Amino acid sequence: MAPRVSRAPYSRVPKVAFLFLVRAKLPLRALWEKFFAGHGKELYSIYVHSDPPFAALLPTDSVFYGRMIPSQRTTWGDANLVEAERRLLANALLDLSNERFALLSESCIPIFDFPTVYAYLTGSNDSFVDCFDNAGARVRYKPALFVPHNITAAQWRKGSQFFEMDRALAVEVVSDELYFPAFRDSCAGRRGCLIDEHYIPTLVSLLRWRRNNNRTLTYMEWQPRRPHPRSHAARDVTEELLRKMRSGAAGNCTYNGAASDICFVFARKFSPDALTPLLQLAPKIMGFG
């Protein structure tokens, strides 16, 4: 990473790296298998980080078979979550054909077919890191902890941990040895530090990264005064829900400098029992399966 090489020195087809940060299993694996079916491995890579041991038995013909990376246990809101994200990015960067990197969880689903998602990611001039500054974002900023590391309140940012970034920004995240130790040490022993919501958005701010759309491509339905987005069970999965997620905030987001009809390409959170109705609706709504 010393020379900051972000482009392969030869011509190749750009790949999208799908980075799955999961707890123990992949309960929605069957839906993802349908999503990837029929599309060549030259277009995508899959990497799975799971709390060891990985509890799912995978058939050898699964696209997820053999895609586990060396993993360590993670805890909600802890620095080890960001360490896992950096671990996923580091493994994916070893393949010089990987140009785009999308972080997903075991409760995420695709809401468009593979060609649409692939074209949207590889055709973008920007990364998609949710990055905003408001009074709520500054609640967890502690001057005594971060000022000594040259991280000011004006640079502090918050956002969804679910990013979609290009290779150049992925290199910056993995190679950062200046700011991440400050976050990790400042969060040590502090319950509810929620570094995963602040580190990468703040790093984007510190780097003055211009090629960022300041939003995530993963739809979430936040509940008032709740720390987690709504979880959708089987009874919630309807055509109306999926169409709402696909339209999102259509017209209120931009893509390569112009208004876009697509604001989100992934969505969460879906419980394991949502798999059956999702498989039933995928051909009609998402266009695959």
| Residue 281 within any structural domain of the chain | no
Report how many domains make up the chain.
1
CATH number, position 157: 3.90.550
pLDDT in tens, 12-69: 799 999 999 998 889 999 999 999 999 999 999 999 999 887 877 899 999 999 999 9
Greater confidence (125 vs 247) lies with 125
| Residue 127 within any structural domain of the chain | yes
pLDDT in tens, 108-140: 999 999 999 999 999 999 999 999 887 767 777
| Residue 142 within any structural domain of the chain | yes
| Residue 284 within any structural domain of the chain | no
Range of the domain at 66: 15-218
pLDDT higher than 80, residue 248: no
| Residue 228 within any structural domain of the chain | no
Greater confidence (53 vs 84) lies with 84
| Residue 274 within any structural domain of the chain | no
Residues in the chain: 289
| Residue 149 within any structural domain of the chain | yes
| Residue 286 within any structural domain of the chain | no
